[in-house]
Structure 1
Amino acid sequence: MFDLGRGFLATVERRPHAVAISDGRTHKTYAQWYADIQSVAHHLRRLGLEKGDRLVISMHNRWQMATLYWACQFAGIIATPVNWRSTTLDIRYYLKNSGAKGIAHDDAAAEAVQACVEAHQVLRIVVGDVTPPGAIAFDSLLGRTGETLLMATPDDYSMMLYTSGTTGRPKGVPRRHRVERAATAAYVAQNLYRHDETMLGVMPLYHATGVRALQAMAMVDGRFVCIPKFEPEATLQAIERERVTSLNLVPTLYHMLLEAPGFAPHRVASIDKIGFAGAPMSAGLIARVEAAFQPSLFVNQYGCSELYALTVDQHANHKPGSSGRAALNQRLRVVKIGATSPEMCVSPGAEGEVIADMSGDEAFEGYWECPEADGKALRDGWYFTGDTGYFDDDGDLFVTGRVDDLINSGGENISPLEIENVLSLHPQVEEVAVVGLPDDKWGQVVTAFIKARSDVDERELGRYCLDAGLTRFKCPRGYRFIEELPKSPVGKVLRRMLRVPSTATPDVQGAPSRQADATMG
């Protein structure tokens, strides 16, 4: 099997004059970009980074970050991309936890890095107009020629992603070259990508979906269109200018595109394939996306940083809520909540925890220096995802949330996703998130947080839920109307913030609160 560097080189040799990457007005062919990548790889070695060292990268999606990523693959360095919104404490944690010997950043992370003492003790590479004392300008790494550098093998580590840290400190997920390449090959096959594909690179490159798009375009000789920071109008302009053929976003970003003042179907007419991942897409949003884009392929991929694609549904618009069936490199089970063994499976239709076979070609082997997390998640050769779901009678998986998100009201376990799907179809509901809030009588009460398009009465929403067939005990007992739902940098709704007492007081009588909480934006 090729390592990632050799795979990229094969593409350069096949189609050297094809456009490989664009970033605003910057366009580079595979031959031009390869020269830059090799130059940077040689310089990283000259600056003291050796095979197996970690390089933390905190940048927007830009051609320089993509270049550093590929340079690491050729030099045998472990690329360690992290959120460009990281604080000084975050940067300190990533550097110390990974044992990185260098950090590369742009203006987005400059203030946090500058205030981090540990960042001044390692190699520091900067993209920007100003290079601080002691740092090295990225542009100075360009222009070198020399023999091809190919330091990695398929069994070497390629990169390390960090989990989002929603349940504690982020955990490092080291990934080998062969695992990355297998995951990308499956991604290409499952999304039906072609040699002339043009992919919008809007998902951050510290996120599994972003990296997968970058690798996939290189594998099929396609073009990766950098979007440094998601802004609806700039994104629409890039789609028009570059004739983008494929989108793969989290549902929130589709919602933001459709709601943008400048959105019009003719502006996205080049889009042929639609994909989403990272969170379920409500039935209401699926209908809107299908009507606006009219894609030939509508793919839902459910996965995680640890094992990547777990399921794929290439007809996501035909069965809203379904995540499809096991991906090409995966086997799945649903076991009882709290199960201690992968043999404790539940029947079709019964909700439980989703677990995945660790023998799959895309699987990691354990967290970076975190045996406690390994002990919790890895059991008898299976990875316990912490996600809840069930198989329907057709064998399709429905992911219903996180184990921690289940609402226990009056002894009944209730999934928020089912309720959200119903409410999302109401014409006055723009976005909705459902959580369980503490209650002395019921334990938890089902509460819907709603971003409304215009005023809507909570009694009307209650009737709507019942008319849609939602069981009475699942219907929200309280409604909270807010201006924005709290979200992570990649667009996932942060339910835990909705449970904070200072921002969410349960209204078990059903009287609505229309006071928007500014801390939730």
Structure 2
Amino acid sequence: MNLSMLFDISVHRHASKPALIGSKKSYTYKELEEEVNRMASSLQKLGIKKQDRLMVILKNNIENVIIFWACQKLGIIYTPVNFRLSIDDFYFCVKDIEPKVVVYEPFSEHLVKKEVFAERPILIGVNGAKADISYEELIDQGTSSYSRPDISYEDIAMILYTSGTTGVPKGVPRTHINEYTSSLAHIIQCRYKTFDRTLLAVPMYHVIGIRSLLAVSLLSGSAVLMTEFDPKDSLQAIEEEKVTCLFLTPTYYHDMVYHPDASQHDLSNLHTIAYSGSPMSDELVRKCDEIFSPQRFVNHYGSTEIYTFTYCEDIRLKGSGGKPGIHQNIRLISPNSRPDSMSEAEMKEGEVGQIVINMNSVEAFKGYWNRPDATRDAISSDWYYTGDLGYFNKEGNLVVVGRADDMIISGGENIYPFHIENVLKEHPGIREVIVVGEADKRWGQIVAAFIVPEDPSLKVQDLDQFCKKHPQLSNVNRPRKYTFVSEIPKSKTGKILRRKLREGFYEQI
């Protein structure tokens, strides 16, 4: 199975069903196929061949989806790039991928500079962007027929770049079988249904955006396009288009459920909401349950490299990372060892260890694009080193406690920030809290808590007394420093950027 076959089957199964729903135009599967074929034939006439890279700098618009499927028809490697990257990181991606084609809009036109490319690609403009040729011209000049190449399920379908929050971005090649099986697993783990409708709100340069599109396409369902995420518009689209399932980051959910109009929308068609990318606070879980009232509330724990590690069928009941995904085998090893030391005893129930994932999964990538050094660091003896720490609870569910890099070592003691954060979140005067290790001459590191206060009258002394009296917090885990900040630094997809706190990039209040 390759993604082109997946698309063809969905078209032939239910040609008249809605496939894409945009703000200005919508497509049935048959109409979508016609435009995809016209784009594929035009790309082929331009000399773009199987496994050439096509770079996309687009938002979640209809053109982006059509180009994605045209790439799958021709075996072209679809390479979406985060347009919010720094200039240096963006140009790194350009040089790394060496695209034969670059597709962009007016908002991203300034990024496309001739001197950046080792070999000048063909430039395609969307929505009026100045380029060699426009998207509209390619559609007009295209035909319904093209020469279909032989596409193996082991061919690369796309390359997704990681966020690069701890270094330069890394390209993650994803094969057709990777994406097909990951989408199938997502459907099973979320219990999606035929003809489901989802909100395609997370950008398609992110694994969540791609997964949302492919999952509903497998089910002859509909993707409701959100060119730019807006909480009010999203709530309205969920109501008007009768959206049945959501897969978003916690930040997206937060912005919707705390919108003042959230409770005024009819969201009763939703049967499943799922999230990934970062943890969700207990308060946000409660608020999502109140506003969306889903039958299923699924937590996915995974990565771009290997889609799902574990999943929890209902975070309201279990509150953990859950069980391994249907294609996965995971282990916990000593926090201070590497995955190639698999002869070491595995962690017992309740013991924190580093999480490693078996690379024989059909969802697993084979290694980073042009980065043998990064591949060696991440993969050893058929195990993928996640860099995360966790433990198995009494029910055998994985509980993720944070990044290995975030572990604090103070006076020789291993301290896990999540435990302290969970205690501090119980204080009514705190809106958000993140704990990091701060260098200290005597202890090596001390526990430092960064607080976004809910109550402006909150004082350091109040928090110190709260922690001293809390039965679940030992003295060694107690914060030795508190800093009140206006906000916790996060990436666009909601990941906490602890590094920025350590480096002083915050606004103290």
**Given the two structures, how large is their TM-score scaled by the length of structure 2?**
0.94
- The answer (yes or no) to whether the contact 1:86–1:109 under 8 Å persists in 2 is no
Partner of 1:448 in structure 2? 449
Matched residues in 2 for 1:375 and 1:287: separation?
Answer: 41
How far is 1:414 from its partner?
1.6
CA deviation map 1:442-463 (0-9, x unaligned):
2222222222333233333344
- The answer (yes or no) to whether the contact 2:89–2:168 under 8 Å persists in 1 is no
Partner of 1:53 in structure 2? 52
> Judging changes above 3 Å, is the alpha-carbon distance between structure 1 residues 427 and 245 closer, same or farther for their aligned structure 2 residues?
farther
Secondary structure of 2:181's partner? helix
Write out aligned runs for 1:113-512 (5 A). Answer: 113-114=112-113, 117-118=116-117, 121-129=120-128, 131-132=129-130, 134-143=131-140, 144-147=142-145, 150-151=148-149, 152-264=151-263, 266-320=265-319, 322-340=320-338, 341-344=341-344, 345-455=346-456, 456-465=458-467, 466-467=469-470, 469-501=472-504, 503=505
Matched residues in 1 for 2:367 and 2:303: separation?
Answer: 13
Secondary structure of 1:170's partner? coil
Secondary structure of 2:363's partner? coil
CA deviation map 1:364-389 (0-9, x unaligned):
11111211112111111111111111
CA deviation map 1:158-183 (0-9, x unaligned):
01111112222111111111121111
Matched residues in 2 for 1:368 and 1:488: separation?
Answer: 23
Percent sequence identity is 37
For structure 1, which runs of at least 5 residues remain unmatched after alignment? 505-513, 517-521
CA deviation map 1:257-312 (0-9, x unaligned):
22223322634333221111011112222222222221100100000111110101
CA deviation map 1:495-514 (0-9, x unaligned):
1001014x46xxxxxxxxx8
Write out aligned runs for 1:57-136 (5 A). Answer: 57-114=56-113, 117-118=116-117, 121-129=120-128, 131-132=129-130, 134-136=131-133
How far is 1:395 from its partner?
1.1
How far is 1:468 from its partner?
6.2
Secondary structure of 2:327's partner? coil
How far is 1:153 from its partner?
2.4
> Judging changes above 3 Å, is the alpha-carbon distance between structure 1 residues 153 and 184 closer, same or farther for their aligned structure 2 residues?
same
CA deviation map 1:79-121 (0-9, x unaligned):
0111022344333221221122111112332222247632982
Secondary structure of 2:84's partner? coil
How far is 1:25 from its partner?
2.6
Deviates more, 1:232-241 or 1:391-400: 232-241
AA of the residue aligned to 2:288: V
Deviates more, 1:454-463 or 1:365-374: 454-463
RMSD between superposed Cα atoms in Å: 2.0
Matched residues in 1 for 2:428 and 2:240: separation?
Answer: 33
> Judging changes above 3 Å, is the alpha-carbon distance between structure 1 residues 75 and 192 closer, same or farther for their aligned structure 2 residues?
same
Deviates more, 1:104-113 or 1:209-218: 104-113
**Given the two structures, how large is their TM-score scaled by the length of structure 1?**
0.92
Matched residues in 2 for 1:190 and 1:316: separation?
Answer: 13
- The answer (yes or no) to whether the contact 1:282–1:420 under 8 Å persists in 2 is no
Matched residues in 1 for 2:252 and 2:424: separation?
Answer: 19
- The answer (yes or no) to whether the contact 1:248–1:276 under 8 Å persists in 2 is yes
CA deviation map 1:206-256 (0-9, x unaligned):
111111111001000111111122222222222222121112111122222
- The answer (yes or no) to whether the contact 1:401–1:415 under 8 Å persists in 2 is yes
AA of the residue aligned to 1:56: M
Deviates more, 1:395-404 or 1:253-262: 253-262
Secondary structure of 1:369's partner? coil
AA of the residue aligned to 1:458: V
Secondary structure of 1:121's partner? coil
Matched residues in 2 for 1:439 and 1:225: separation?
Answer: 51
Matched residues in 1 for 2:257 and 2:453: separation?
Answer: 15
Secondary structure of 1:398's partner? strand
Deviates more, 1:332-341 or 1:294-303: 332-341
Q: How many residues align?
A: 502
AA of the residue aligned to 2:226: I
Deviates more, 1:71-80 or 1:134-143: 134-143
AA of the residue aligned to 1:252: T
Matched residues in 2 for 1:21 and 1:468: separation?
Answer: 53
